[in-house]
A and B are shown apart, each in its own frame.
Chain A
């Protein structure tokens, strides 16, 4: 049996329910998207009391299996107006397991002027306390205050000032293994949804005593060791260990899909100044607290995270990921890793998504508010966000709103969500994925770039995107890190064997994939019921009309092709 803890945020009441269905067994996005689909009225206001917020760990959470502790957070997105699943690493999933929880829901909402509240969940139950002492503070200070009060090992979930102000790019920050809320479920504005319930933090105390019940210990241990071996020996996932996701800078530059100058170019002169090798060398040279590899959760054999130090060797930001390096770097023509790391740190402190804010700053630079390549101006814009100035609030509302306010036509988004770090005109597979995702422009599922023989051609890309929509969604579907997929993309057997060893439940690959596809169908249906028309699944016209200089390409994906990629 699996438990969901339902918290009524209006009156503080909570109840536990038990379930035994396959969706609860798998957890992750399988569960969060089903709960949203079933329980949230699709046409409700995202920041109203009818929306709910769900936190789900995965099938292998709390065990010895590497990279199995992602937490999936679901709700209706204020950014896209549709369903949203955003997931994060860290220790929250583990703490939930230790407290015997598969899911937590935040339901209802108190009066708008109610005081901020924290729900503290421990083995003795749920306690509601005042969260006023956290109000208005940055996420780093909130992390320290939460650690002081509940210990560094507690699993904490919090929001930044941008979330408190109900801004649409506000994310949800989750504790890393060091007690810092630095692991973000950044996309879709779910931080604003949490704030709409006047919940400023959730705390999972480190007093849980529930140990995973394993049906077949020997098989489970062998399976767990097998996953580690596969991850370490896989030539692709092992590359993450040295360079992390930053390796994509060189790859995207070579393929001419590195977002540059507000997505008007796919190549940045001087990109080597912000590439993986430069980052690696900088971290090594500076030493101190810097780490070129770092685990965001335990256990993890991949360790793609990093700790980027300042010139004195003190932690500046952890992690600095490729998507941020592109959206806050090349997209703004910035060639300084210290600037990018500083912007990333401010974003983490303000509690905003680095992709959506990077895209919005690109729009602001195109509007003439600052010159592309101006490091100081870019940092200042992030300070505007942290300080919640009028301009900062516009930027933290995402690039669609920023473009509307600032009079910019070339706004890189789909469904209001900023386009991730792969220029869609140079990669037609990624363009199909962005257009057809139920989440708005999203790269974590349907990642085609590595498998596109001719990235600039749209031939076969609908089928390719759909293939990887399933492959990419498999990991989300059970709370695994997305980078495990390289080791199991052709054979999910090792992970399904672990599920069998843990629960005694036999799930064939076909049955599992059917669950994955059913999730996608439910997500699209929710969006349809929410009133999102098919015509919203488009880029701005400029992407169809203006050729990317380096490839000579425009987006040529038709509405019919987008619909095909959404149809299951």
Chain B
């Protein structure tokens, strides 16, 4: 089970079943679909490290996903 935490959105935490490692892009598509949200640009962080859309995601990973915005 992968936990995707959509930070700064109403969607909150979404769990995605995983049988084998899959790219982050795939996981995000599934999680966003389950949460019923549209994803724009995002910043994804796992264990304190920024990860890319092609990073393999493993079972039990916890991913924080932020909208990719900027300061003022």
B-binding residues in A (CB < 8 A):
234-237, 239-240, 242-245, 247-248, 250-251, 254-256, 276-277, 304, 319, 321-323, 326, 420-422, 443, 447, 449-455, 482-483, 486, 550
Contact = CB atoms under 8 A, between A and B. Distances in A.
Contacts of B72: 244-245, 304, 319, 321-323, 482-483
Given A247-B8, A247-B67, A447-B70, A236 B48 contact: no
Q: How large is the interface on B (under 10, 10 to 19, 20 to 34, 35 or more residues)?
A: 20 to 34
A251 B50 contact: no
Interface in B17-55: 37-41, 43, 45, 48, 50, 52
B66 A250 contact: yes
A506 to B, nearest CB: 30
Contacts of A453: 50, 52
Given A255-B43, A276-B8, A245 B66 contact: no
Contact of B41 (A236, A254, A304, A319): A236
Contacts of A236: 40-41, 67-69
A421 B40 contact: no
Nearest to A321: B72
A455 B48 CA distance: 12
Task: Indicate the member of B41, B45, B70 with the most A CB atoms within 10 Å.
Answer: B70
A449 B71 CA distance: 10
B22 to A, nearest CB: 18
A449 B8 contact: no
Contact of A251 (B9, B40, B43): B43
Contacts of B40: 234-236, 486
Nearest to B7: A250
Contacts of B43: 251, 254-255, 449-450
Contacts of B68: 236, 450-451
A240 B69 contact: yes
A236 B38 CA distance: 10
Contacts of B7: 250, 254
Given A450-B69, A451-B41, 4 more contacts: A236-B67, A276-B8, A443-B71, A451-B68
Contacts of A450: 41, 43, 68-70
Contact of B45 (A245, A254, A422, A449): A254
A323 B71 contact: yes
A443 B70 CA distance: 9
A243 B8 contact: yes
A245 B70 contact: yes
Nearest to B71: A322
Task: Indicate the member of A235, A420, A453 with the most B CB atoms within 10 Å.
Answer: A235
Contacts of B70: 245, 248, 443, 447, 449-450, 482-483
Contacts of B71: 245, 248, 321-323, 326, 420-422, 443
Nearest to A472: B70
Task: Indicate the member of A240, A242, A450 with the most B CB atoms within 10 Å.
Answer: A450
Contacts of B50: 255, 452-455
A368 B49 CA distance: 33
